[in-house]
Structure 1
Amino acid sequence: MHEAPIIQLGGLNIDLSIVLMLIVSCIVVFIIARLAVRNLSVENPGKMQNFLEWLVEFVRGLSNSTMDWKKGKPFISLALTLIMFIFVSNMLGLPFGVVTGYHDASKAEIFGKPIVSVTETLEKLHQQHPDQEAEVEVAWWKSPTADANASMALAIMVFLLSHALGIFKNTKAYFKHYVHPYPFFLPINLIETFSKPLTHGMRLFGNIFAGEVLIAVILKLTSLGPAGGVFSVLGLIVWQGFSIFVGTIQAFVFTMLTLLYISQTYAVGHDHD
């Protein structure tokens, strides 16, 4: 596996590849949204406008399936942004990857900061095999959602938002649901509540990460000669298509669960009164 380009900044380990890919994802989503609304027309809408209108209706349908329109309307923009951002993030690692190799720890620097993941790994390799030239490969371009930190950050953001809405907008019903239908259900309800962000984020991470790992394995078939190259190309074509399907489904599932969690703490909680 390739190393991540990690530097230390303010006592924190910063993965530059994730920062880079999150910025790229935001830029791509902004460009798509800007193109979709650039020339709005009622009589002759363009392809991008039709796509955006379809997506808005699709997200509205997701919202209506979890809560009534009056309560769900304020979250349409959130859901629309999430489904676009996660879909784009899932797709970024499919077309290609950017990998650099390092043999000398003194050259493993960026912005004047050492890439600690490289320097530490090179040092370990030199200690284990002092007579061999060590090399560490660093992946710069990949899907940000293939990193557990990015996926869990999205899940925790949704977790905090949904529970903040429940506490401040639906206080009585929110706290009452923890002892619903009986007080001794409190531990079970608490476990359920705190397990949701874990399953929410890890589901997204696991599916995207597994897809990129398999792509890397398929590419290594080229080292087996001409036959391996043929199988590598065919396998890559098939898996790329399947990965697009998986990435789309995961964007849908994450957004659907976001609206569902919001409805459980903010909207549907009134049913327990």
Structure 2
Amino acid sequence: MHEAPIIDLGGFRLDLSIVIMLVVTCAIVFIVAKLATRNLSVENPGKLQNFLEWAAEFVRNMISSTMDWKKGKPFLSLAMTMIMFIFVANMLGLLFGVVTEYTDADKAKIFGKEIISVTEVLHEQHEKHPGEEAHAEVAWWKSPTADVSVTMGLALLVFLLSHGLGLFKNTKNYLKHYVQPYPLFLPINLIEQLSKLVTHGVRLFANIFAGEVLISTIMTLAKASAMGAIFSVPLLMVWDGFSIFVGAIQAFVFVILMMVYISQNLETHDEH
């Protein structure tokens, strides 16, 4: 696997590839939304407008399946933004990759900052194999959702939002839920909520990361020999097609679970 371009910024280890890819994802989502709503027309809607209307109706049905539409309507923009963001983020790693190779630790710098991950690998290789040339490959372009910190950040955002809404808009029933059916169940109910947070983020990360690992493996096969290059082309085409399907499904799953969690905290818990 390729290394991540990590630098030290104020005592924090910052992965520049994640920062870059998050900016790219946000830019793509903003541009698509802007183009789709630029020239709205009732009589002659454009293709992007038709797509946006279809997507809005699809998301509306998702929300309606988890709660009453009157309660769910305020979350339409949130759900639309989230599903577009995650889908685009899932797709970015399928397009192409940008990889740079370093053999000299002194040259492993960007913006005057040392790329810590590269220097650590080069020094480790020099210690294990003194006298041999060390090298490290850094991936700058990948799906941001293939990083657990991103998916857990999204899951944490949903966690805080859903529980904040439950606490402030449904206070009595929200707090009562934690001691049902008996007060002794309080620790179990707390663990249940924390497990939802973890599984919500890890599920998305694991599926996208596994896909990128396999793509990297196929690309390694292509470099191995001429025969490997021939076989890697159909394999890559098939896997990219499957990855598009998986990326779309994972975006749907993440958002539908988000709406389920919000609904659970906004609704009464008498039946639980």
Which band: TM-score by shorter chain? over 0.9
The yes-or-no answer on 1:163 pairing with 2:175 is no
Letter in 2 for 1:129: H
Q: Secondary structure at the match of 2:7?
A: strand
CA drift at 1:223: 3.4
Q: Distance in 2 between matches of 1:38 and 1:270?
A: 43
What is residue 14 of structure 2 aligned with on the other side?
A: 14
Q: Distance in 2 between matches of 1:140 and 1:225?
A: 25
CA contact (8 A) 2:147 2:209 kept: yes
Q: Distance in 1 between matches of 2:180 and 2:50?
A: 44
Q: Distance in 2 between matches of 1:105 and 1:226?
A: 32
CA drift at 1:227: 2.2
Letter in 1 for 2:164: A
The alignment yields a C-alpha RMSD, in angstroms, of 1.2
CA drift at 1:219: 1.2
CA contact (8 A) 1:176 1:272 kept: no
Which string of whole-angstrom CA distances, capped at 9 and with x for unpartnered residues, describes residues 62-104 of structure 1?
A: 1101110111111111100000000000000001000000111
The yes-or-no answer on 1:234 pairing with 2:231 is no
CA drift at 1:224: 4.0
CA drift at 1:188: 1.8
1:2 and 1:166, CA in 2 relative to 1: closer, same or farther beyond 3 A?
same
What is residue 243 of structure 2 aligned with on the other side?
A: 243
Q: Distance in 1 between matches of 2:64 and 2:140?
A: 40
Q: Secondary structure at the match of 2:78?
A: helix
Q: Distance in 2 between matches of 1:225 and 1:123?
A: 30
CA drift at 1:183: 2.3
For 1:123-134, what aligned pairs fall within 5 Å after superposition? 123-134=123-134
Letter in 1 for 2:22: L
The yes-or-no answer on 1:256 pairing with 2:265 is no
User: Could you state the TM-score of these two structures normalised by the residue count of structure 2?
Assistant: 0.97
Q: Distance in 2 between matches of 1:61 and 1:82?
A: 15
Q: Distance in 2 between matches of 1:198 and 1:270?
A: 22
What is residue 74 of structure 1 aligned with on the other side?
A: 74
Letter in 1 for 2:194: F
Q: Distance in 2 between matches of 1:69 and 1:104?
A: 59
Report % sequence identity: 68
CA contact (8 A) 2:40 2:49 kept: yes
Q: Secondary structure at the match of 2:94?
A: coil
Q: Distance in 2 between matches of 1:158 and 1:113?
A: 34
For 1:171-190, what aligned pairs fall within 5 Å after superposition? 171-190=171-190
* Shift >4 Å, 4+ stretches: 270-273
Q: Distance in 2 between matches of 1:220 and 1:10?
A: 36
Letter in 2 for 1:247: G
Q: Secondary structure at the match of 2:137?
A: strand
Q: Distance in 1 between matches of 2:163 and 2:80?
A: 20
User: Could you state the TM-score of these two structures normalised by the residue count of structure 1?
Assistant: 0.97
CA drift at 1:186: 1.8
1:4 and 1:26, CA in 2 relative to 1: closer, same or farther beyond 3 A?
same
CA contact (8 A) 2:177 2:269 kept: no
Letter in 1 for 2:151: S
Letter in 1 for 2:33: A
Letter in 1 for 2:209: F
What is residue 195 of structure 1 aligned with on the other side?
A: 195
